[in-house]
Amino acid sequence: MIFLTFWYSVCQGLLKWVSQMGIMSENHKIAKAATTIGMGTLLSRILGFLRDMVIAHFFGAGMAADAFFVAFRIPNLWRRLVGEGSMTISFIPVYTEYLSQRSEEEVRKVTHVSFTIAGVILLILTVLGILFSPILIRIIAPGFIQIPEKFQLTVMLNQIIFPYLFFMGLFALCMGILNSHRHFFAPAIAPIFLNLSIIVSVFLFYHTFKIPVMTLALGVLAGGVIQFLFQFPFLWKKRITFRFNFNFRHPAIKRIGLLMIPGLIGTAVYQINVFIDTIFASFLPSGSVSYLFFADRLMEFPLGIFAIAIGMASLPSLSGLASQGRMEEFKETLSFTFRLVSFISVPAMVGLISLKTPIVNLLFQRGLFNYSATEKTAFALLFYSVGLWAIAGARTIVPAFYSLQDTWTPLKIALICLGANVLFIAILIYPLKHGGLALATSLSSMLNLILLFWKLNSKLGKIDMRKNIRSLLRDVFCSLPMGVAAYLICSLGNWSTSSHVGEKVLLLLAGMVVGLGIYLTCSYWAKNEEMLFLLKMVRGKRVR
């Protein structure tokens, strides 16, 4: 409930502030969209944790879990690249232009051609993925080759899961169409069905299959089908249908493709780095892939609810200011958005570092997931968390480039950071094992943010970097006593066992509530601009 209230206040506050910048006509639409996206993501993340708890209980962090997580990497990465990134920045602007400036017949043609070309490409990719799964697994997890049983299991799971890519690609297209029509509920709520289908599949069929981990693969496939089909009633309500149209030379398709190609990588440096981590983790002791997966899941909670949603909400506003040539207001809006996300992501980073073991213990330590797995997952979470502020910050800076119709600069920077990530891995993997992979990802994410700011500053002229840095440091100083207090409170519990759950839940909640109170109090005393802004918004005062 605390997360729901805080998220709603942040989202509404940001959009009210933006409305004062002269975008009053879009305020209601953007506010509704951002709130819907955030709430849907929050519900999905909560169910996602329940799903991960089920996986940890039934499969632990051993060979079966490693095989599933590797098999799921490719289609899941595709979902994040397309669903949360390139589709938003490529399809929606072009399709929206057709909605506002072209006839209904032209809009239908774009819809039908997009559906046809997406279906054909996805079908080809799915068939090739199934046929060449052994080669893909050799590339993704070369270390598994040394264990034939593990390798064959991973290949089989990958072949079962791969059609998920087909349905999620079409789902992303549906999402782009519905979002262009200002409908956000169905796409935002759909990921819930993936988590539910996996949970139900495990409970119903775990004791039925000779290889129990297959229940996870079938759950993923069923979840993809349901997510796609769930969009249909809402599409039909808006009189949107899918038909075959093989006019692949349609000018809209060319424009979408030119924007999407660089966007695929430029929007998802963190996800691609995590994918690279999986490749190197396959050479490490069994369980390393699982430790990284569970740690990444905890990282995705604050990123998905706050950073991604606020970044998506700011894109239309930044695009409007850029198109009107109001660059001073553009820079101020961008800076404020970054500071607001930092105000949330920095304490989230400190909180995850301070409470890493209690969180992992309560969520995952049961069944086959023992204390050793908890310690190793917490070790990975420590190093992933170090870069949380940079990953979240980049999600607010990248939309600024897209609003300026510059998709190539984020791509070039992303490629540099991917190379840096591999270099960091080579240095850190030996002394820190899977923790070194997580730290390498964090360091490359920091480099990504620095380069994005540097290029944007040279592109736009001077951005008030001193104000942004002062705000960031203020957030860090206010977060430190919060982290110490939360750690001391939770240290009263015994986190090496899975017993006394009720007592440990109370301790963790007490640590979080007391820590949050200390952070907000320190921010108020430090006259943090974002804190005062949110306080005025909650009190119902006009935000200036």
Give 98's pLDDT tier (boundaries 50, 70, 90): confident
Q: What is the pLDDT of residue 286?
A: 84
For the stretch 398-410, pLDDT in tens is: 878 877 777 788 8
Residues 193 and 326 in one domain: no
Per the structure, the complete domain to which residue 266 belongs is given by 63-286
For the stretch 100-155, pLDDT in tens is: 778 888 888 888 988 898 889 889 989 998 999 999 899 888 888 888 899 999 99
Chain centroid to CA 185 = 18
Cβ-based neighbour number of residue 295 at 10 Å:
27
Residues 15 and 123 in one domain: no
Q: Do residues 310 and 10 touch, judged by C-beta distance below 8 A?
A: yes
**How would you write 164-196 as a 3-class SS string?**
HHHHHHHHHHHHHHHHHCCCCHHHHHCHHHHHH
Q: How confident is the model over 40-67, as a mean pLDDT?
A: 83
Residues 128 and 217 in one domain: yes
Distance CA 508, CA 493 (A): 9
Q: What is the pLDDT of residue 23?
A: 41
Q: What is the pLDDT of residue 1?
A: 43
For the stretch 169-198, pLDDT in tens is: 888 888 888 877 777 788 888 889 999 999
Q: Which of 277, 289, 281 is nearest to 66 (CA)?
A: 289
Q: How confident is the model over 52-81, as a mean pLDDT?
A: 82
Residues 115 and 248 in one domain: yes
Residues 282 and 321 in one domain: no
Give 316's pLDDT tier (boundaries 50, 70, 90): low
**How would you write 380-395 as a 3-class SS string?**
HHHHHHCCHHHHHHHH
491 pLDDT above the threshold of 90: yes
355 pLDDT above the threshold of 70: yes
Number of domains in the chain: 2
Question: What length does the chain have?
Answer: 544
Model pTM score: 0.74
Q: Do residues 47 and 192 touch, judged by C-beta distance below 8 A?
A: yes
Q: Is residue 120 part of a domain?
A: yes
31 pLDDT above the threshold of 80: no
Chain centroid to CA 269 = 11
Residues 103 and 16 in one domain: no
DSSP secondary structure code for residue 498 in this structure: S
Q: Do residues 345 and 306 touch, judged by C-beta distance below 8 A?
A: yes
Last residue of a domain, one of 246, 270, 286: 286
Q: Is residue 39 part of a domain?
A: no
Residues 247 and 371 in one domain: no
Last residue of a domain, one of 244, 268, 286: 286
Residues 184 and 282 in one domain: yes
Most confident of 30-34, 55-59, 164-168, 353-357: 353-357
Mean pLDDT of the chain: 82
Q: Is residue 136 part of a domain?
A: yes
Give 27's pLDDT tier (boundaries 50, 70, 90): very low
Is residue 225 classed exposed, middle or buried when 0-12, 13-18 and 19+ CB atoms within 10 A define those classes?
middle
Residues 207 and 352 in one domain: no
Q: Is residue 138 part of a domain?
A: yes
The amino acid at 518: I
Residues 328 and 446 in one domain: yes
Q: What is the pLDDT of residue 17?
A: 47
Residues 237 and 339 in one domain: no
Cβ contacts of 439-443, under 8 Å, gap ≥ 24: 439/383, 439/386, 440/273, 440/277, 441/270, 441/273, 441/274, 441/277, 441/383, 441/384, 441/387, 442/383, 442/384, 442/385, 442/386, 442/387, 442/388, 442/390, 443/387
For the stretch 410-461, pLDDT in tens is: 888 988 999 999 999 999 999 999 999 999 999 999 999 999 989 988 888 7
Q: How confident is the model over 497-525, as a mean pLDDT?
A: 90
Q: Which of 307, 308, 317 is nearest to 15 (CA)?
A: 317
Distance CA 395, CA 449 (A): 9
Residues 239 and 376 in one domain: no
21 pLDDT above the threshold of 60: no
